[in-house]
Amino acid sequence: MRQFFKLMLGFAPWIAFMFIAHGSLLRLKLGLAVAAALTLVMAVRGLHKGVIMWVGIVFFSFASVAVIGFENVWTMRHMGILAHGALAAGAWLTLALGQPFTLEYAREHVAPALWSDPAFLRTNVLMSSVWAVVFSLGAGLAWGKMQVPVQPEWLFDAVNYTLMVSCVAFTSWYPAIARRKAQAARQL
């Protein structure tokens, strides 16, 4: 359970943004300001790192300038797609480069001798892939919310939140399973 909350903390700027930034222009601006400040504070304090940190810095900086500075309507209208799309692009990029973004976090919990272990690397490719798919689905849901007048509108958000929480739960649960499988394989 501790791992679950630590993982949620890593997404604190995105979670704060998600809960604050809807319903009005003032709330969107406030959400962006809070998320940008949290991202920077967490980065400086070492609580936020890797591609998720950099995606947050770039996204919240861009969105803050576009929305707070220029009140750019296109950016405001597409905020959900842009936020999820930025996270998806960051996750897919790390996979394409052969450095799944979860490696940086996973290395905190594993002895350096195991960092190049094929099972450890496969586990991180799988976890990063699951995150990339969930982020991509989030972008698709945000696009769908704009295109399809489904009532109630919150249904899109409920599906998205369920996917995200499920992904956090998977990330908290799966490494222990993979570790046990790898240990059993080494004992054979």
Q: What is the pLDDT of residues 150-185, one digit of tens each?
A: 778 788 889 999 999 999 999 989 998 988 888 888
Give me the half-sphere count of Cα atoms (radius 13 Å) on the Cβ side of residue 94: 26
CA distance 32 to 132: 23
CA distance 24 to 176: 43
ω into residue 175 within 30 of 0, thus cis?
A: no
Confidence of residue 1 (pLDDT cuts 50, 70, 90): low
Task: With CA atoms as reference, report the closest residue to 170 among 123, 101, 110.
Answer: 123
125 contact partners, CB below 8 Å, separation of at least 6? 95, 100
Q: What is the pLDDT of residues 4-20, one digit of tens each?
A: 777 778 889 999 999 99
Confidence of residue 47 (pLDDT cuts 50, 70, 90): confident
Containing structural domain, residue 15: 2-187
Number of domains observed in the structure of the chain: 1
Burial class (CB within 10 angstroms; exposed 0-12, middle 13-18, buried 19+) of 176: exposed
Residue 77: predicted pLDDT: 95
This model's pTM is above 0.85: yes
Q: What is the mean pLDDT of residues 132-143?
A: 96
Q: What residue type is assigned to position 102 of the chain?
A: T
Do you know the residue count of the chain?
A: 188
